[in-house]
Amino acid sequence: MSLLAVEDVTLKFGGLTAVNRLSFAVDAGEIFAIVGPNGAGKSTVFNLISRFYTPQSGALRFDGHDLLAVRSSDVAALGVARTFQNIELFDHATVLQNLLVGRHRHRRSNILSEILFTPAVRRQEVENRERVEEIIDFLDLQPYRDKMIAGLPYGVRKVVEMARALATDPRLLLLDEPASGLSVEETSDLRWWIEDIRRQMGITVLMVEHDMGLVGQVCDRVLAMADGAQLALGTPAEVQAHPAVIEAYLGH
């Protein structure tokens, strides 16, 4: 069974059909990319999976759960984490603080035990702290650990956003254009991190990405979209050679 299934999903904004009868499935352990021209509906697919939007028709399933029965605020608890095309972090907090916020869903204690600061709460705090430090090490963020987000270079902020998503211990990580705005060196680091996120952390990755070099290097399968619908689905080589994909890119 696939980890994520998008089944015949349609989402309209007024007269505009942003996602048009789209179906695809991502298997556990895959690195899967969605590609396509600007306005194809890629970020909207992420917003549907995150339950920011509700489709007019179709179904969304994650690990056996009907996502349409889940509120946006509960999607993270199921094991889905994401980054945004425009970075969304707390600018006036440090890297460490942003990551600790990412751990929030792991606090299972109630308000009273937090006020009393029970041993269970203390244990949870220690565990959160340790996991966040591991992620900081994993993504080479030690030099920035106690720095304010607002003062960090763009490429570092993108890595912090990925770190914050990882801090929720997801099973599915959604990355919206992780390489955009990154230098060649930063994109190369990103490539290894994405592979290690799967290999060492066992996390399935679904990414929207324009850099076809990166997609070809790390992705098992690719969905190409245009005008909200599927153009092609297959290995990176198959999709890049697909006539409909070539035409969509030349036409834009």
Residue 36: contacted member of ligand ADP, Mg ion, none (CB under 5 to 8 Å, by partner type)? ligand ADP
Residue 41: contacted member of Mg ion, ligand ADP, none (CB under 5 to 8 Å, by partner type)? ligand ADP
Cβ 47 to ligand ADP, closest distance in Å?
7
Stretch that binds ligand ADP, among 37-45, 147-155, 197-205, 240-248 (CB under 6 A): 37-45
Cβ 207 to Mg ion, closest distance in Å?
11
The yes or no reply on residue 44 touching ligand ADP (CB under 6 A) is yes
Residue 13: contacted member of Mg ion, ligand ADP, none (CB under 5 to 8 Å, by partner type)? ligand ADP
Total number of residues that touch ligand ADP (CB under 6 A): 11
Alpha helices in the chain (DSSP H): 42-49, 72-78, 95-102, 111-116, 119-138, 154-166, 184-199, 212-218, 236-240, 243-251
Residue 18: contacted member of Mg ion, ligand ADP, none (CB under 5 to 8 Å, by partner type)? ligand ADP
Residue 73: contacted member of ligand ADP, Mg ion, none (CB under 5 to 8 Å, by partner type)? none
8 Ramachandran zone, left/alpha/beta (phi>0; psi -120 to 50): left
Q: What is the CA radius of gyration of the chain?
A: 19
Footprint on residues 80-109 left by Mg ion (CB under 5 A):
85
Residue 141 and residue 119: Cα distance in Å, rounded? Answer: 30
Q: Of 4, 43, 132, 232, which one interacts with Mg ion (CB under 5 A)? A: 43
C-beta closer to ligand ADP: residue 36 or 236: 36
Residue 167 and residue 101: Cα distance in Å, rounded? Answer: 9
DSSP 64: T
The yes or no reply on residue 39 touching ligand ADP (CB under 6 A) is yes
C-beta closer to Mg ion: residue 18 or 167: 18
Cβ 242 to Mg ion, closest distance in Å?
21
Residue 44: contacted member of Mg ion, ligand ADP, none (CB under 5 to 8 Å, by partner type)? ligand ADP
Q: Of 5, 22, 43, 124, which one interacts with ligand ADP (CB under 6 A)? A: 43
CB burial readout 16-33, b (16+ within 10 A) else e? ebbbbebebbbeeebbbb
- Name the one residue in this structure whose structure tokens are 């999607």: 75
Asked if 33 contacts 213 with a C-beta cutoff of 8 angstroms, the reply is: no
Cβ 231 to ligand ADP, closest distance in Å?
12
| CA-angle at 133, arms to 132 and 137, nearest 5° | 115
C-beta closer to ligand ADP: residue 18 or 136: 18
Residue 118 and residue 164: Cα distance in Å, rounded? Answer: 26
Q: Of 9, 26, 30, 42, which one interacts with ligand ADP (CB under 6 A)? A: 42
Asked if 206 contacts 212 with a C-beta cutoff of 8 angstroms, the reply is: no
